[in-house]
Structures are given as C-alpha cells and as structure tokens.
Amino acid sequence: MKPRIFFYPAGSHTTSINGLFSLMSLEPTTVTVAGSCEFIAEKQPLAPLSGLGVSNRGSGEIKITCATPLMLLLEEDDKNMKTDGVVPFHSGQSRV
C-alpha cells in the first residue's frame, strides 16, 4: 500500500486516525498534536522535512494545530479516517 498524503493549511484541524501517521512541513513551523495518539506535542518546533514528526500512532480523534501548512502522511490504510474536508493526494496522481 502506498502512503496517502493530506495537505492541511495553517490553523487547527481535527481528524480521526487509527494507525501510523507522520507530519512534515516545507518550512520551519510549530506544531501541536493532541488527542488519541502515542506522542503528544505542544508548540513543538518542526524543521522542514524533519524526521521529528515521523511515526506517530493514532487511535481515534486527533487535533493538529500548525503555524504553516503541513503534510500528513498516512502510512497505513485507514479507510475510516475523517479528514475535515481535506482531499488526499496519492503519489502518481496529476492535479490540474
């Protein structure tokens, strides 16, 4: 299975994730991750494409707050993920 990638604008977003996920940014930012996940973060600095946001595990509703746009990589096939209206981008897809 290929990972699914979701793009979130700056702000607060609530989603439901059951499985592995990672957060990445293309610019320096701060991230807060709260709710049903293994690793909670409060205004955690996140460098561009840093491994710091890699491999968290969700088990329900999660709130993500970011100062800049973020990528959420869903590493397992979670068909029940609620995405707050955000559309996934699958690698190999063309967006026009």
| pLDDT tens sequence across 50-66 | 887 778 999 999 999 99
pTM: 0.76
Each residue of 4-41: pLDDT tens digit? 899 999 999 999 999 999 999 999 999 999 999 999 99
For the chain, which residues make up each domain, given as ranges? 4-78
Structure tokens at 44: 């955690």
State whether residue 51 is helix, strand or coil. Answer: helix
Q: Which two three-digit tokens encode residue 27?
A: 């610019």
Amino acid at residue number 57: R
Determine if residue 26 is left, alpha or beta; phi over 0 gives left, psi from -120 to 50 gives alpha, anything else beta.
alpha
Q: Which fold has domain 4-78?
A: Jelly Rolls (2.60.120)
Number of H helices, E strands in the chain: 0, 7
| Interatomic CA distance for residues 36 and 60, integer angstroms | 5
Q: Which neighbouring-strand residues pair with 64?
A: 13, 33
